[in-house]
């Protein structure tokens, strides 16, 4: 779940399993939901049970992998991915190829989500694009 984008039908099936676990007494009975599932997934401080939805959790895991690559965390996995895919460019400017691995393809799909949440801190200015990157708040 952390490395790959889950197919839509798998996410829906996991969602259904979670709901059925809560609301059904037996496998043969139709369950009766007592509260909206969104409320069940809320944090405990505001009355929920803090369950996680499958699809957003999957995207968060993939963004975490992209963040590790972006911040060049000192691990063997990050070094090998950077060597294999980012030898001539950086994460946000790397082109997608049909020969990419499934893990890299899922990271490439979530990089736009990650980029929309980032703000660059301008240091020397050698790794930032004046026109393309968000480098000033608001």
- Rounded mean pLDDT of 95-101? 89
* DSSP letter (8 states) at residue 108: H
> What's the pTM?
0.75
**Does position 132 have pLDDT exceeding 80, yes or no?**
no
Classify residue 82 by burial, with Cβ atoms within 10 Å: 0-12, 13-18, 19+: middle
Q: What are the Cα distances from residue 65, in Å, to 54, 73, 78, 105? A: 17, 10, 9, 12
Q: What is the pLDDT at residue 27?
A: 67
What tens digit of pLDDT does each residue of 9-63 get?
A: 998 898 888 888 877 767 667 777 778 888 888 888 998 888 888 888 899 999 9
């Amino acid at each position: 779940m952390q490395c790959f984008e889950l197919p839509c039908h798998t996410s829906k099936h996991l969602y259904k399993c979670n709901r059925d676990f809560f609301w059904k007494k037996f496998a043969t009975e139709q369950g009766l939901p007592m509260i909206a599932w969104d409320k069940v997934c809320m944090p405990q401080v505001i009355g929920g049970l803090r369950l996680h939805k499958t699809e957003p959790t999957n995207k968060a895991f993939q963004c975490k992998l992209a963040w590790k690559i972006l911040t060049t965390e000192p691990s063997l996995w990050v070094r090998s991915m950077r060597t294999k895919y980012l030898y001539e460019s950086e994460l946000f400017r790397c082109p997608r190829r049909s020969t990419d691995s499934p893990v890299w393809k899922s990271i490439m799909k979530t990089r736009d989500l990650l980029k929309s949440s980032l703000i660059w801190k301008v240091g020397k200015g050698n790794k930032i694009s004046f026109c393309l990157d968000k480098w000033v708040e608001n």
